[in-house]
Amino acid sequence: MTVRAFFRVATVDAAASPYNSIQLKVFYPAQLTGSDQEQDMGIVPADSQQSPFKVVIFFNGINCGPELYQWLAVKLAKRGLVVITFSWVAENLPGMVALTPGVAINMLTPAMYGKGPTASALPTLLKELDSLQSEGVLAGLLDLNGVVLGGHSAGGRVAIESADSRFFPSVVAAFAYGAHTAAITQLGYAAGTILSLPDTLPVLLIGGTRDGVIANSSHRYGVTWEEATTPVKRTFQEAIVGGRNDSYLLLLEGANHFSIADSFDFTTGTPFLDFPATQPEEQLRNLMAEAIGVFIDAHVRYEATSLESLSQLVSDNPLIALFDRK
C-alpha cells in the first residue's frame, strides 16, 4: 500500500500571536495513477475504495517533534486510517516556550478538572478536519464521526482526558503511551492523587517497564513510585471504572519512555531522565503499532475477528510484562 502525506496550517483562535499557528501533517492511504498532477506536483489521490477513513489525531510529547512518530503514522495509514500529527510552538507557562501537544493548564486544576477537555489544540484540529472533508485529496472521504485520539507522554494524557463525547461527539476512542493521570501537587492536589478519566469510550493505555522519565518525575506528584509503571497501572485501576471490556492496559517489558520515538532527538526534552531500553526497540515499536491497530479495528471499525487477533498478539509474548482488560 502507498502512504502519502501533505501539510496544512491552522490558526488557534484562542491563542495570541505568534503562538497561534499549528502545522499539520496528514498521512493517508493513496493510490498511484500516473497522472500529470502526480508527476508534476507529487499530488497523489487517496485510495477511495478504503473510505470513509477513520481519523487518528496524534498528540506529541512536550519538546518532541512530530517526525518522531512518523513511523507509527505510516503503519496506521497502511491499515486504512488517516493520521494527523502536528507541530505547535507555544507558551503554555509564562516564560516557557516549547513544542507542545497543547495542554490547557487551567483545566487541570481541582476546580475545573473534568468539566472540559485538557487538549487545547483539539478544537482547532477538529475544525481543520471539516476543511479536509470539503477540499483536497480527502474531500468527502473522511468519517468525521470516527475520530481516535492518541498520544505520547503529556500528549497521551491530554488525549485520554479529552476523549469524552460530551465535549467532542466525533471522538470515539483513545490510546496513550507513557501517560498517566497523576495530579501535580503544585496545582493543589494531595500527594499521590490519581485523577479520573471520562470512562465513556474505549481506551488503551500502554507503558514501559523501563520508563525512567515517569520514575524520575514522581516528585511532581508528592510520592516516590514503587515502579516505573506504577502511575500507569494506577490510572488503569483507579481512573477507569470499566465494565464494558473495552479498556486495556498493556505494559511492555524493557521499553522506556521514548521507545515510541524514532529516531529520538536528544537535544530537547528530558531524555537524560530515561532508563536504557532492554529489548530491541524496533520489536517494541512493531508491537505497539499492532496493538494500537488491532484496538482500533476492534472498537472503532468493529471488525469481528479483531478481539481474537488481540488475544493472539498478547499470548505468550516475552515483550509483554502485563496485559489487562476491563
**According to the model, what pLDDT value does residue 96 have?**
85
- Amino acid occupying residue 294: V
pLDDT tens digit at each of 326 positions of the chain: 899 999 999 999 989 999 999 999 999 999 988 886 777 678 899 999 999 999 999 999 999 999 999 999 999 999 999 999 999 999 877 788 999 999 999 999 999 999 999 999 999 999 999 999 999 999 999 999 999 999 999 999 999 999 999 999 999 999 999 999 999 999 999 999 999 999 999 999 999 999 999 999 999 999 999 999 999 999 999 999 999 999 999 999 999 999 999 987 888 878 899 999 999 999 999 999 999 999 999 999 999 888 888 888 888 899 999 999 99
**Are the CB atoms for 208 and 182 separated by under 8 Å?**
no
CA 276, CA 254: separation in Å to the nearest integer? 8
Backbone angles phi, psi at 177, to 5 degrees: -120, 135
Long-range contacts of 189-194 (CB under 8 A, 24+ apart): 189/110, 190/222, 191/221, 191/222, 191/223, 192/221, 192/222, 192/223, 193/221, 194/231, 194/234, 194/235, 194/238, 194/239
Q: Hey, what's the cell of 92?
A: 503554555
Q: Which residues contact 74 (CB under 8 A, 6 or more apart)?
A: 3, 27
Instruction: Please tell me whether the peptide bond between 18 and the residue prior to it is cis, using omega within 30 degrees of 0.
Output: yes
Q: 3-class DSSP state for residue 21?
A: strand
**Are the CB atoms for 283 and 253 separated by under 8 Å?**
no
**According to the model, what pLDDT value does residue 307 have?**
83
Write the pLDDT tens digit of every residue in 273-292: 999 999 999 999 999 999 99
**According to the model, what pLDDT value does residue 40 have?**
67
Q: What percent of the chain shows pLDDT beyond 70? A: 99
What is the model's pTM?
A: 0.96
- Hey, CA dihedral for 26, 175, 94, 126, is it positive or negative? positive
